[in-house]
Amino acid sequence: MSEEPALYEVPTHYKPPSGEEFRALLRAWRLTGSNAGAMADVNGRQIRRYTGEEQRVPYAVLYTLASKCEDVKISANGWRAELSSALARGRAAE
């Protein structure tokens, strides 16, 4: 009996941002919890759960915010370096 591939697989190598890292990203993107929630299609309260480390930031939420705020496509295992580079380019352009 063969196993069918999963339609949605969570990247096993994804290490989500800490609450502080996520708060720093929101500050860099000048987003409130409500704004970030609206962009990622989650409730603002859910964003507070991520910043308070009550729950881990899903890759889909981080990817969505990064693509909308930085116009960058991040990978599950390289997102820290990719966002750091994108944020540095943005600061240099200001």
CATH of the domain at 59: 1.10.260
Alpha carbons 49 and 8: distance in angstroms, whole number: 23
| Residue carrying structure tokens 């960058």 | 72
The pLDDT, as a whole number, for residue 87 is 87
What pLDDT score does 4 carry?
A: 54
Residue 11 covered by a domain: no
* Contact in structure between 51 and 19 (CB atoms under 8 Å): yes
Closest CA to 56 of 23, 81, 21, 19: 19
Residue 3 within a domain = no
- 34 in a domain, yes or no? yes
DSSP letters spanning 31-73: --HHHHHHHHTS-HHHHHHHHTTSSPPPHHHHHHHHHHHT--P
Question: Which residues of the chain register pLDDT less than 70?
Answer: 1-12, 91-94
